[in-house]
Structure 1
Amino acid sequence: RPGGVGVGGGDALPAGTLVERPIRLASLVAGDDGSGDTSVSNLGHHAGYYRLPTTHDARLFYFFFESRRHKKEDPVVIWLTGGPGCSSELALFYENGPFHIADNMSLLWNDFGWDQESNLIYVDQPTGTGFSYSSDSRDTRHNEASVSNDLYDFLQAFFKEHPEYVENDFYITGESYAGHYIPAFATRVYKGNKNNEGIHINLKGFAIGNGLTDPAIQYKAYTDYALDMGLITQSEFSKINKIVPACEFAVKLCGTSGTVSCLAAYFVCNTIFSSIRLIIGSKNYYDIRKPCVGSLCYDFSNLEKFLNLKSVRQSLGVGDIEFVSCSPTVYQAMLLDWMRNLEVGIPELLENDIKVLIYAGEYDLICNWLGNSRWVDSMEWSGKKAFVSSTEKPFMVDGKEAGVLKSHGPLSFLKSHTHTLSLPLPHSFSPSPSLGRWDENKSETET
């Protein structure tokens, strides 16, 4: 077992048990000793471990931040980072959480944190991601069924611990590989409610940012997007496009339940992306306007430094468990799942008025807006015709057009003119032993 006891790390912790503790991250904010602002110092910030009941020894780590407005009726929002295998703390501290990390390891309040409007949960999942761990390799997850069952079990325990939030609207959010996690998890919650399993969860909707959901459509869009954005020439477009039929055939064989065929599809289809990546060189594939700096195209080293501080670890109760920003073990374990189509479960949710928002920044290559808009348009549901023919409208923020929005009924697609969040998350890393180094002889990519 990874060293350290942690909040829920003790060997005696029974399966199905959730152990949570209050944390005082607000007291680490630069210039704030925690006493000057009662409303800030009294915020409900929590960290915990949940020992999964249907595993050998798996524990999921999570953060829970109560709404900064102190409004109990604010929705409960869970955030899932992609990878697969990247920690949700990346989003917490670099995107939409309450804090950013300063270079001196103090915290700064994030003026755009989603906790301004909601009660926020960040989960390190699947097992082996972030601070989540197991002493037994049999707990490694390989597909969405087991991932979504784990999340559902966690959610049941969370609402049992926090019954005051059971009636609140509940939303599932995330980005990149969470384009797989989120539809599967939303379907699991919907079915749990339908079958009267445990606590009824007030699921109102979900949102996916720059996600990978329907690989067959999205991989075909790579060359079109790259050509449109001037990343490749017409001759390069024609050459790379010769791979597309083989990719489409491989994805068809994979379907929604294939195994070895899905692995083959992963390697065939990712040749498309790796070919484009070789051409664009040092361009950042999360924001093609910028250079790629470092192994993840952004510098996230402050996160690892901060989470390795003794005072922070004591506050979180994680002992000496190693923090894993992006786990190559989890990444490789999910390769069989990568090329499966997760769009298939969404129509039933739409028909039952579960709101769906698919959003994408227009400068992200790896999970680009074009591929996302195409799978959304092609989805078969009762509102398909009306959605496709609906007029795009400007999405305004502070009096300026920030994107283009298309909506019909419970479905919306938003193309953002800039980044969808304050910083794009590394949907990725290289699964090679030299973590983050690109091997030009391999077709592995990241999402």
Structure 2
Amino acid sequence: MFYYFFESRSSRKDAPVVVWLTGGPGCSGSLALFYENGPFKLTDDLSLKWNDFGWDKESNLIYIDQPTGTGFSYSTSESDIRATSEEAAVDFYDFLQAFFKKHPEYAKNDFFITGESYAGHYIPAFANEVQKRNKLKQGIQINLKGIAIGNGLTNPVIQYKADRDYALSTKIIDKSEYNDLSSSASECQQAAQACASKNSSSACTDAYSTCNSYFSSILDAAGGDINYYDIRKKCEGSLCYDFSNVEKFLNQKNVKDALGVKNIEYVSCSSAVQTAMAGDELKNFAVYIPPLLQNGVKVLLYAGEFDLICNWLGNSRWVEDLKWPGYSTAPSTDFIVDNKKCGLTKGKGPLTFLKVFGAGHLVPMDQPKASLEMLSRWIQGKPL
């Protein structure tokens, strides 16, 4: 399993270890590394420059290409391509064991799992796996302190239902178009609920097809070329952003030689991994959150206000649905950075939700300073 590891720029021996998981499923950690919160930014001439707001300023930082088949992580056996987030969780745990065995000086440091998008599935499952193994006293004990999910897909039944409401509230569709979508919205709801209740591969694969068709209908109603990761922009390319430079950069011979991946062709997102996990997408991973909270693991859910596909409205609704004691009546407060209102936050105890202003799906890319400040306060236990 391929990974990048960057020691904290703070040089603190007790700096926490933060792992970042990119979503997809099947998209490489290199995307976040070079375009979001890594130590470096990739320039148009394929050179690297320091990122003043890299998360390594506050932590030791790991990016992993996972599940197997993603980015530079590969296997010679097709049986190693995972079909569920729970299967991927076992590989993730094995990776952590190997990492901390190789770097025992970090094993006692506070450990946080972060990521975005499909990591809304990964992170709850992975954190649960770590907690389970810790309780069984298996392997090296991992000092899991918190998880943070940005614009994640975690509870699809609630989140898909919110997509149409979000589209109407932001005026990318009108009331007539909203009403026209009611039938396909209902079909998605029924299919998603069937997946949740039956938890079978066939029901969940059917739900994947039905709900993606429904989401495509929303995009068509919104004009077809809208960037569903940031409704302020047009969709350009297969990922709605031009990330082609990272493929050009990582497929250079000298870069591959330096990384020790000479015979692997880098692709930002793996269609094989995405296809394999089609039956996983509509499953509800919010069920893992309450046990984590009850065991003292801090949970931060944050979402950029202009993302459609994993919008803040759907995320806020599934967090409310957790019915965590005291959360529903907790007041919303401003998230202030440099005397500027950068969002709204709500929390109770270990559970926090943050709506980030001026950002789409990729919060650290759109609001780098605010996202670094968010991370800094959160890992230090300060209120946002």
TM-score bracket, normalised by the shorter chain, equals: over 0.9
Residue correspondence of structure 1 range 195-210 to structure 2 within 5 A: 195-210=136-151
Pick from 323, 327, 331: which aligns with 1:387? Answer: 327
Aligned equivalent of 2:162, options 203, 221, 233: 221
Counterpart for residue 325 of structure 1: 268
Instruction: Determine if contact 1:260/1:336 at 8 Å carries over to the other structure.
Output: yes
Gaps of 5+ in 2: 368-384
C-alpha distance in 1 between matches for 2:22 and 2:127: 15
Q: 1:275 aligns with which of 191, 207, 217?
A: 217
Give the CA deviation at 1:243. Answer: 2.2
Alignment of 1:176-325 (within 5 A): 176-255=117-196, 257-280=199-222, 281-325=224-268
- Superposition pairs for residues 36-435 of structure 1, below 5 Å? 60-255=1-196, 257-280=199-222, 281-381=224-324, 383=325, 386-419=326-359, 420-423=363-366
Identity %: 59
For the pair shown, which has the larger CA radius of gyration, 1 or 2? Answer: 1
- The alignment partner of 1:415 has SS state of strand
Is the contact between residue 358 and residue 366 of structure 2 (CA under 8 Å) also seen in structure 1? no
Q: How big is each residue's C-alpha offset from its partner over 1:346-375, in whole Å with a ceiling of 9 and x where there is no partner? A: 101111110000000000001000000000
In the alignment, structure 1 segments of 5+ residues that lack a partner are: 1-59, 425-447
CA distance in 2, matches of 1:258, 1:357: 30
User: Tell me, what secondary structure is at the counterpart of 1:288?
Assistant: coil
2:13 corresponds to which letter in structure 1? K
Separation of aligned partners in 2, 1:152 and 1:295: 31
Deviation, 1:61, is 0.5
- What is the DSSP-based 3-state SS (H/G/I as helix, E as strand, rest coil) of the residue aligned with 1:242? helix
Q: Which amino acid aligns with 1:407?
A: G
By how many angstroms is 1:310 displaced?
Answer: 1.6
Secondary structure, aligned partner of 2:71:
coil
| 8 Å contact from structure 1 (residues 347, 380) kept in 2 | no
Q: Which residue in the other structure is 1:23 paired with? A: none
Once the two structures are overlaid, the 10-residue window that deviates more, 317-326 or 358-367, is 317-326
CA distance 1:157–1:72, shift in 2 (3 Å): same
Distance 2:181 2:349 in 1: 38
CA distance in 1 between partners of 2:179 and 2:187 (Å): 15
- Partner SS state of residue 356, structure 1: strand
Aligned to 1:444: none
TM-score w.r.t. the length of structure 1 is 0.79
Alpha-carbon shift at residue 423 of structure 1 (Å): 4.5
CA RMSD of aligned residues (A): 1.2
CA distance in 2, matches of 1:268, 1:298: 25
Greater per-residue helix proportion: 2
Are the counterparts in 2 of residues 94 and 423 from structure 1 also a CA contact under 8 Å?
Answer: no
Residues 204-242 of structure 1, C-alpha deviation per residue, up to 9 Å, x if partnerless?
A: 000000000000000000110000000111111111122
Deviations along 1:16-73, one digit per CA (max 9) or x if unpaired, are: xxxxxxxxxxxxxxxxxxxxxxxxxxxxxxxxxxxxxxxxxxxx10000000111121
Contact 1:87 1:326 in 2 (8 A): yes
Tell me, what secondary structure is at the counterpart of 2:192?
Answer: helix
Match for 1:300: what amino acid?
Answer: F
Q: Is the 8 A contact 2:231 2:308 kept in 1?
A: yes
Distance 1:108 1:423 in 2: 17
Q: Secondary structure at the match of 2:232?
A: strand
- Alpha-carbon contact 1:85-1:126 (below 8 Å) kept: yes
Q: Per-residue deviation at 1:249?
A: 2.1
Residues of 2 paired with 1:263 and 1:295: CA distance? 22
Q: Distance in 1 between matches of 2:220 and 2:366?
A: 24
Looking at structure 1, the residues matched to 186 and 221 of structure 2 have their Cα atoms a distance apart, in angstroms, of 21
Between the aligned partners of 2:320 and 2:3, the Cα distance in structure 1 is 35
Quote the residue 1:53 is aligned against. Answer: none
The ranges of structure 1 where at least 4 consecutive aligned residues each deviate by more than 3 angstroms after the TM superposition are none
In structure 2, C-alpha distance between the alignment counterparts of 1:139 and 1:295, rounded to whole Å: 26
Distance in 1 of aligned mates of 2:323 and 2:288: 11
Please name the residue that 2:370 is paired with.
Answer: none
Could you tell me whether the CA contact under 8 Å between 2:164 and 2:178 is conserved in 1?
A: yes
The number of aligned residues is: 362
Cα distance in 2, alignment partners of residues 144 and 292 from structure 1: 28
Instruction: Name 1:440's counterpart in structure 2.
Output: none
Contact 1:362 1:418 in 2 (8 A): yes
Q: SS at the partner of 2:342?
A: strand
Q: Is the 8 A contact 1:404 1:414 kept in 2?
A: yes
Give, as a single letter, the amino acid of the residue that structure 2 aligns with 1:417: F
Task: Report SS of the residue matched to 1:112.
Answer: coil
3-state SS of 1:196 partner = coil
Contact 1:222–1:272 (CA under 8 A) maintained in structure 2: no
